[in-house]
Structures are given as structure tokens and as C-alpha cells.
Amino acid sequence: MKRLLPIGVFTLFLSACSQADDGNMIQSKELTDEEQYYLGFGLDQAGILDVESFDDEFDTFSFVVNFYEKGEKIEEKSGPNGLQEGDFAETDDIVYGLRSDDEDQIDFFTGTTSEPEQADTINSQTMTVPIELPFSFDQKASTQVQQIKPKSNEMSPLILMHSGNSLSSHWFEKEELSKIIEQENRVVVIGLRFD
């Protein structure tokens, strides 16, 4: 019995920690295979973030794209440069997608959905933004996250595109992302900033 007590306390502690983490994360919306197929059709990366279920309050969000070359940040593009900004309280879902067929440009798709309280309809807003790359990729790899941890006035990474072979299952964490930026010749990070 004495041996089971520490195991039980440890299990409760882990359970509490994992629940606390989930409350601070915006999860990807669960989609059927058919929904996922159509969402990602023709795109390299695509997803829907379930903002409605997120506990914390922010006023606004904006998409941000950072470009790095040889370990140095060379450019940032955000809302005023044509990328979507939105009112956090009026948004249920944030939709995003990336197509990178062209060697000197990426197409970034964004959108939001919301359900007005007094109506039986869903409002949606979408836009496609062609983003010129400040460099060309000879080869590239990309990946995306399934959940993000928003931090006030700081970018939360969604999509990573880079020129080489770096692999990390936790690339979105600050230390891991810094390593990839240092190791790779060219890196593009697309994310969301919450204010």
C-alpha cells in the first residue's frame, strides 16, 4: 500500500500537468479524412486551428512570416504587408495553407470562421497572399504543427520550410528552432502573433 501511494500521487501530478498544458494550447481541429483531403488539396501544408475551445483571452492575432539566411533574420512580413489580421474574440477557427511550387514565391492561404450568436449561418473570410521569397531554394522541406502555444506579443510557429536535412520532432520549440536556423542556409517560418 505504501508503494502505491507515491505512484498514485505521481499519476495525479502528471494528469494535472497535462491538463494544464492542454488549456494553454490551441489544438488543430479534428477533421474527417474527406475534409482533410479537400483542405489540403494542392497544398504542401494546411490546417485549421480550433480557437473557440482556447481558454486564454487575446484581443487580436496576425500571421507573420520570418526569413532567415545563414543563421540571420533578413526579413519579416506581417499584417500591414498583406497578411491576415483578425479579432480573436470573434474568431472560432483559423484556417491556413501553404503552396510552394514556385522557386521564388510561396502562396499563403488564410481564413477565419465564426458563428454569430443570432444567426444560423457561419461567417468566413479567406485570402490568398503571394509572398516573394528573398532567396531561392535548390531543395526544400516543410512541416507544420498540430497545436500551438500562444504567447503574448511573440510569434507561435505554424509552418517551417528550410533548405536542408534538419529534423526535429519539436522544431517549434524556441531552442530547436534556433538550432535549425543556425544549421540551414535558408529558412522560412510562418506563424501567428497574438496580442
3: confidence class by pLDDT, cuts 50, 70, 90: very low
Rounded alpha-carbon distances, angstroms, from residue 85 to 53, 96, 111, 112, 121: 19, 12, 10, 10, 22
In 100-176, DSSP assigns E strands to 105-114, 123-132, 141-144, 147-148, 155-162
Predicted TM-score (pTM) of the model is 0.78
- Residue 144 contacts residue 158 (beta carbons within 8 Å): yes
14: confidence class by pLDDT, cuts 50, 70, 90: very low
The larger pLDDT score, comparing residue 52 to residue 72, is at 72
Nearest to 150 by CA among 92, 191, 99: 191
How far is it, in rounded angstroms, from Cα 175 to Cα 100? 26
Question: In which element (H, E) is residue 69 found?
Answer: strand 60-69
The average pLDDT across 132-147 equals 87
The larger pLDDT score, comparing residue 100 to residue 6, is at 100
| Strands 155-162, 186-194: pairing kind | antiparallel
57: confidence class by pLDDT, cuts 50, 70, 90: confident
The average pLDDT across 146-173 equals 87
